[in-house]
A and B are shown apart, each in its own frame.
Chain A
Amino acid sequence: MAEFIRFDRITKFYGPLCVVENLDLGIGKGEFVSLLGPSGSGKTTLLMMLAGFEQPTAGEILLDGTSINAVPTYKRDMGVVFQSYALFPHMSVGDNIAFPLQMRGIGKAGIDERVKRALDMVQLSTLSDRRPSQLSGGQQQRVALARALVFEPRVVLMDEPLGALDKQLREQMQLDIRDLHRRLGLTIVFVTHDQSEALTMSDRVAVFNKGKIEQIGTPRQVYDEPATRFVAEFIGETNLVEGVVETVQGAEATVRLPSGAQIVSAVSGSIASGQSVFLSIRPERVDLSETRSEGRNVLETEVTDSVYQGDHLRVQLHNATHPLIAKLGRRSREFPPGTKVFAAFSAGDCRVIAP
Chain B
Amino acid sequence: MSAASSRTRRSLLLLAPLLFFLIGFFVWPLFSMMSQSVSDPAVLRLLPRSAEVLADWDRNSPPTIPMQTALMKDLKAVNDDQALGDMVRRLNSARSGFRTLMGKTTSALKETANPPVDLVSIDKRWEKPEFWLAIADALSPYTDRNLLAAVDLGRNAAGDIEHLPPDQSVNGVILMRTFWIAALVTFACVCIGFPYAIIAASLDGWKRDLMLGAVLLPLWTSLLVRTAAWFILLQEQGLINDLLRAIGLIDAPLALIFNRTGVIIAMTHVLLPFMVLPIYSVLITIPKNLMPAAASLGAHPLRAFLRVLLPLSLRGVASGALLVFISAIGYYITPALIGGPSDQMISSIIAFYATGSANWGMAGALGVVLLVATLLLYSVYARLSSDEVGGR
Residues in A neighbouring B192, C-beta threshold 8 A:
none
Cα A242 to Cα B292 in complex, Å, equals: 48
Residues in B neighbouring A77, C-beta threshold 8 A:
298
- Is A86 touching B301 in the complex (CB atoms < 8 A)? no
Check: A151 CB closer than 8 A to any chain B CB. Answer: yes
Residues in A neighbouring B295, C-beta threshold 8 A:
52-53, 72-74
- Is A51 touching B392 in the complex (CB atoms < 8 A)? no
Contact with B along A281-317 (1 / 0, CB 8 A): 0000000000000000000000000000000000000
Complex: chain B residue closest to A102, CB-CB: B307
Complex: chain B residue closest to A103, CB-CB: B298
Q: In whole Å, how far is B233's beta carbon from the nearest beta carbon of chain A?
A: 40
Check: A79 CB closer than 8 A to any chain B CB. Answer: yes
- Name B's interface SS: helix
Cα A72 to Cα B298 in complex, Å, equals: 10
* Interface range on chain B (Cβ under 8 Å from partner): 20 to 34
- Is A78 touching B296 in the complex (CB atoms < 8 A)? yes
- Is B392 touching A79 in the complex (CB atoms < 8 A)? no
Cα A111 to Cα B376 in complex, Å, equals: 42
- Is A99 touching B292 in the complex (CB atoms < 8 A)? no
Check: B282 CB closer than 8 A to any chain A CB. Answer: no
Q: Which residues in chain B, 272-316, are within 8 Å of chain A measured between CB atoms?
A: 287, 289-290, 292-301, 303-304, 307-308, 311-312
- Is B298 touching A74 in the complex (CB atoms < 8 A)? yes
Check: A133 CB closer than 8 A to any chain B CB. Answer: yes
- Is B297 touching A99 in the complex (CB atoms < 8 A)? yes
Check: A331 CB closer than 8 A to any chain B CB. Answer: no
* Interface range on chain A (Cβ under 8 Å from partner): 20 to 34
- Is B392 touching A147 in the complex (CB atoms < 8 A)? no
Partner of A82, one of B289, B307, B308: B289
- Is B392 touching A133 in the complex (CB atoms < 8 A)? yes
- Is B289 touching A99 in the complex (CB atoms < 8 A)? no
Q: In whole Å, how far is B17's beta carbon from the nearest beta carbon of chain A?
A: 41
Partner of B294, one of A72, A89, A90, A99: A99
Q: Which residues in chain A, 14-66, are within 8 Å of chain B measured between CB atoms?
A: 51-53
Check: A131 CB closer than 8 A to any chain B CB. Answer: yes
Check: A167 CB closer than 8 A to any chain B CB. Answer: no
Cα A103 to Cα B295 in complex, Å, equals: 10
Q: In whole Å, how far is B292's beta carbon from the nearest beta carbon of chain A?
A: 5
Residues in A neighbouring B287, C-beta threshold 8 A:
84, 86
Given contacts A84-B289, A88-B290, contact A51 B296 (CB under 8 A): yes
Cα A52 to Cα B292 in complex, Å, equals: 9
A residues near B (Cβ < 8 Å) are 51-53, 72-80, 82, 84, 86, 88-90, 99-100, 103-104, 131, 133, 147-148, 151, 157
- A86-B292, A88-B290, A103-B297 are known; give 17 further A-B pairs, CB within 8 A: A51-B292, A73-B296, A74-B296, A74-B297, A74-B300, A80-B293, A80-B296, A88-B294, A88-B308, A89-B312, A90-B312, A99-B294, A99-B297, A99-B307, A103-B303, A148-B297, A151-B298
B residues near A (Cβ < 8 Å) are 287, 289-290, 292-301, 303-304, 307-308, 311-312, 392
